Chains A and B, each alone.
Chain A
Amino acid sequence: DAGVTQSPTHLIKTRGQHVTLRCSPISGHKSVSWYQQVLGQGPQFIFQYYEKEERGRGNFPDRFSARQFPNYSSELNVNALLLGDSALYLCASSLDGDRTDTQYFGPGTRLTVL
């Protein structure tokens, strides 16, 4: 079975631009979470979606938004990019997003903002 997939693998943008990152969960998983991992730090929670509804949000500005589609795939959008948005963005899927669920992480999208 395919694991969590993310696209693109790498991305280079300039300040002020907009970016869309994509995630496909493991088949049968209905919950997707997004994390930002800045170099040298642990992942930080951005969003969790379950059945197309936002279930939780971390301490990120409104420039960050996400959505989940009927097939449970998800997009993370970041507007007005800042240099500090440069990071590895990780997507994780789980069966129903309960905190006892095991989260399966994708390989991430490396975003560089110049």
Chain B
Amino acid sequence: AQSVTQPDIHITVSEGASLELRCNYSYGATPYLFWYVQSPGQGLQLLLKYFSGDTLVQGIKGFEAEFKRSQSSFNLRKPSVHWSDAAEYFCAVGRGFKTIFGAGTRLFVKA
């Protein structure tokens, strides 16, 4: 069955430090992969998506993600975190006409 696993429920990083959020997926075919961010009280915003081609994908707000088929992973990275990045981050895989989301990783940023 198709699924998405985000191993870290929450992560705390210092402002200015680098960030990596982990995502593993289970999918029988070539996956369509996404990262979304959700700020408190708001809907989800797409950060980036991967369909094919270059395995390193650039997104908005300085985020990037790398697709590694051999590891079934699609980890999200940012070289320098800002306080405004504190939010919930969701990895997702597209399957047919629906999107399957992971449980999310809450990012806390400390000064």
Chain A residues packing against B (C-beta within 8 Å): 4, 33, 35, 40-45, 48, 55-56, 58, 90, 92, 97, 99-100, 102-108
Interface residues of B: mostly helix, strand, loop or mixed?
A: strand
Asked whether, in the complex, the Cβ of B97 is within 8 Å of the Cβ of A100, the reply is no
Asked whether, in the complex, the Cβ of B45 is within 8 Å of the Cβ of A105, the reply is yes
B57 at the interface (CB under 8 A from A): no
Extra contacts, 20 of them, besides A44-B101, A105-B36, A107-B42 (Cβ < 8 A), are A33-B98, A42-B101, A43-B44, A43-B99, A48-B97, A48-B98, A55-B97, A56-B98, A90-B43, A99-B32, A99-B94, A99-B96, A99-B97, A100-B51, A102-B49, A103-B46, A104-B46, A105-B44, A108-B42, A108-B43
Asked whether, in the complex, the Cβ of B98 is within 8 Å of the Cβ of A103, the reply is no
**Quick one: closest A residue to B95, CB to CB?**
A99
Contact with A along B28-67 (1 / 0, CB 8 A): 0000100010000111111001010000000000000000
Chain B interface extent, by class = 20 to 34
**Quick one: closest A residue to B98, CB to CB?**
A45
- The CA of A44 and the CA of B101, in the complex, are separated in Å by 7
Asked whether, in the complex, the Cβ of A43 is within 8 Å of the Cβ of B98, the reply is no
- A107 contacts which of B43, B95, B103 (Cβ < 8 Å)? B43
- The CA of A44 and the CA of B100, in the complex, are separated in Å by 7
Asked whether, in the complex, the Cβ of B46 is within 8 Å of the Cβ of A102, the reply is yes
Closest 5 A/B residue pairs (Cβ): A42-B101, A105-B43, A56-B97, A45-B98, A99-B94
Supply 13 A–B pairs (Cβ within 8 Å), ascending by A.
A4-B43, A42-B4, A42-B101, A42-B103, A42-B104, A43-B44, A43-B101, A44-B101, A48-B97, A92-B44, A100-B32, A100-B94, A107-B43
